[in-house]
Structure 1
Amino acid sequence: MFAITAARIDKDNPLDALGVGEHPDPVPPDGWTTVTVKAAALNHHDLFSLRGVGLSADKCPMVLGCDAAGLDEDGNPVIVHAVIGDADAGGGDETRDPRRSLLSEVHDGTFAEKVAVPRRNLIPKPDELSFEEAACLPTAWLTAYRMLFDKAGLEPGAPILVQGAGGGVTSALIRLAATSGYRVYATSRSETKRAKALELGAHEALESGARLPEKVDAVFDTVGAATWKHSLRALRPGGKIVTCGATSGDAPSAELTRVFFLQLQVIGSTMGSRDQLRRLVEFCARTGVRPEIDRVLPLARAAEGFRAMDQGDLFGKVVFTA
């Protein structure tokens, strides 16, 4: 079958490690099944994998990709939950299983004509969502859904800040929060991305590091070192930072004095459970909220999407069609 792989690991030039071509068809073990992929979405995780983050050289070549929507073996439209783990080991949540992994870390991923997954990882795709839209949900949108509705625990109308508008998670946060009645502030270095954030429903979009009109109840930070100081200073006393990533580095000054004096909370969040994905899909189907798709490319042109992500030249999701 045709697939996009991490042919090897290259920390300095990750795009040089991208493999494009034939790969063996998946052979599902007991309890697993195959899905014919119709659409798959690109994530920063895929770029990190080429650098060897979460993927070891001995696993290469590895089919990349976490997210997919397609047809199961009976021809039913389905969405793939990307977390390979045991919900029982995680107290009902696969993401807390200490042995969990994502597709494309231990098992081949979704950037291929077919992918093998545990049967329990499939949920029905509603007719209201296209395959391209559905493929955007399992990683970036599910991460945003958990951060906003589970980890932050805020009532609609609360002021929040989304750092670094433009990525898959941040565009999802803006759309989900604005649709649900939160007052959303967003930041970006790019004037174009600030304008797009306003189109998604942000109350106000500011330059990165700019002083906000008010202190917020929660900051959603996927950037890390470059925005951490600003995130702490944007919070009201008792406010929360919810973090799911550190694309600019993971070693900022903790500023513990500010954290304990203002009784701030720092909350980590990773992905979301299969049940949360099911609820997110229903939310989108019922409300008409749809993922922001930057571009759709055939799988054979996947390198273009990787290049755009590496250069930060996108807003929303890149989707590949098989």
Structure 2
Amino acid sequence: MLAAYAAHLDAEDPLTGLVVGDRPDPEPRDGWSTVTVRAASLNHHDLWSLRGVGLRAEQLPMILGTDAVGTTDDGRAVVVHGVIGGDGSFPAEPRSLLSEKHQGTLAERVTVPTRNLVDLPDGLDVTDAACLPTAWLTAYRMLFRSAGLTPGQRVLVQGASGGLATAAITLAAAAGIEVVATSRSAAKREAALGLGAAHVLEPGARVPSRVDAVIESVGAATWSHSVRSVRPGGTIVVAGATSGDPTAAELTRIFFTEITVRGATMGSRDELVQLLAFMARTGVRPRVDTVLPLDRARDAFARLRSGEHVGKIVLTP
């Protein structure tokens, strides 16, 4: 079967290890189901994997990808939840994502635990649904569980163009939360307004008023601004550090103003069910930047790495 996989790892030039070619069909396993993939989306996790973060050379070759929508052998249309282990179904297995210990979704077929399958709601397109299980699910958890935001509150989203950021802007605006978004690009700030942001700023600019929570995935480049922008007693939710760890944690400001810092990674299967229902009932849809066939995965990865995209990049086997 055709797949996009990591053949070797390179921290400096990750795309050198990406191969698009034939891989063996997945082997049947008790308690697991094979899904014929109809659409799968890229995440920065895939680039980090190619750099060797969370993936070791002895695990290669590894098919990349954590998100997919497809059809089971008995004709069931499903969305794949990409978190394996760390719950009651696999209590002895530490939590991981597809493409870390088990082959991922950027392939014509993928095998996953049967309980990881969620029915695709009526009216939700496969391309849109393929964008949801990683970036959108993480944003959903960050906003509504980690930060506990409610209608009428304010949130700052650092960086306005990637899958996580566009998801956070769209979901928060749809829930009646006032969104402030930052980007170095004027075009991406304009795009954030189109997604529902109430205010857009250049990175580091003073927010109109301090926010109740910050969605932080950039790290060193935005951390100080996040700490200065949240109200006393507010929350900073961290789901990544694409620009590296901050050199200073600014602990004095954090303890003096009683700021809560929380981490977030993905979300539960139940939260994916809730997110899918939210999307189906409200008509909210993800911003899709590019849709390409699987055999053009290298072009898709190059666009992801360039940072020029706004929203999600989807591959269709």
Same fold (TM over 0.5): yes
2:33 match: 33
Structure 1 residues without counterparts, runs of 5 or longer: none
Output aligned runs, 1:49-68, within 5 Å: 49-68=49-68
Q: Residue 213 of structure 1: CA displacement?
A: 1.1
1:299 match: 294
1:12 match: 12
1:314 match: 309
Q: Residue 107 of structure 1: CA displacement?
A: 0.8
Percent of pairs with identical residues? 59
1:175 match: 170
Matched, 1:210 2:210: no
Q: Residue 259 of structure 1: CA displacement?
A: 0.5
RMSD: 1.3
2:102 match: 107
Q: Residue 75 of structure 1: CA displacement?
A: 1.1
Which amino acid in structure 2 is aligned with residue 172 of structure 1? A
Q: Residue 177 of structure 1: CA displacement?
A: 0.3
CA distance in 2, matches of 1:57, 1:85: 22
Q: Residue 239 of structure 1: CA displacement?
A: 1.1
Q: Residue 251 of structure 1: CA displacement?
A: 3.6
Which amino acid in structure 1 is aligned with residue 192 of structure 2? A
Which amino acid in structure 2 is aligned with residue 37 of structure 1? V
* Aligned 8 A contact 1:69 1:131 in 2: yes
Give CA-to-partner distance per residue, 1:14-46, whole Å, 9 cap, x none. Answer: 011101110000003211110000000000000
* Aligned 8 A contact 2:84 2:98 in 1: yes
Q: Residue 252 of structure 1: CA displacement?
A: 3.4
The alignment covers a number of residue pairs equal to: 317
CA distance in 1, matches of 2:270, 2:17: 35
CA distance in 2, matches of 1:264, 1:86: 29
CA distance in 2, matches of 1:141, 1:132: 13
CA distance in 1, matches of 2:80, 2:108: 14
Which amino acid in structure 2 is aligned with residue 110 of structure 1? T
2:240 match: 245
**TM-score normalised by structure 2 residue count:** 0.98
Structure 2 residues without counterparts, runs of 5 or longer: none
2:226 match: 231
Q: Residue 250 of structure 1: CA displacement?
A: 2.0
Q: Residue 286 of structure 1: CA displacement?
A: 0.3
Q: Partner of 1:277: helix, strand, or coil?
A: helix
Q: Residue 154 of structure 1: CA displacement?
A: 2.2
* Aligned 8 A contact 2:223 2:246 in 1: no
Q: Residue 88 of structure 1: CA displacement?
A: 2.4
Extract structure 1 runs of 4+ deviating beyond 4 A. Answer: none
* Aligned 8 A contact 1:37 1:112 in 2: yes
Q: Residue 73 of structure 1: CA displacement?
A: 1.2
1:44 match: 44
Q: Partner of 1:318: helix, strand, or coil?
A: strand
CA distance in 1, matches of 2:283, 2:11: 40
Give CA-to-partner distance per residue, 1:55-99, whole Å, 9 cap, x none. Answer: 111111110000000001111110000001142289xxx9xx870
2:154 match: 159
Which amino acid in structure 2 is aligned with residue 54 of structure 1? G
CA distance in 2, matches of 1:155, 1:103: 32
1:78 match: 78
CA distance in 2, matches of 1:122, 1:261: 45
CA distance in 2, matches of 1:270, 1:194: 26
1:150 match: 145
Higher mean C-alpha displacement, 291-300 vs 97-106: 97-106
* Aligned 8 A contact 2:218 2:243 in 1: yes
* Aligned 8 A contact 1:162 1:186 in 2: yes
CA distance in 2, matches of 1:154, 1:115: 35
Give CA-to-partner distance per residue, 1:140-185, whole Å, 9 cap, x none. Answer: 0000000001011122111110000101011000000001001100
Alignment CA distance shift 1:259-1:98 (3 Å): farther
* Aligned 8 A contact 2:221 2:246 in 1: no
* Aligned 8 A contact 1:28 1:117 in 2: no
CA distance in 2, matches of 1:89, 1:29: 14
* Aligned 8 A contact 1:241 1:267 in 2: yes
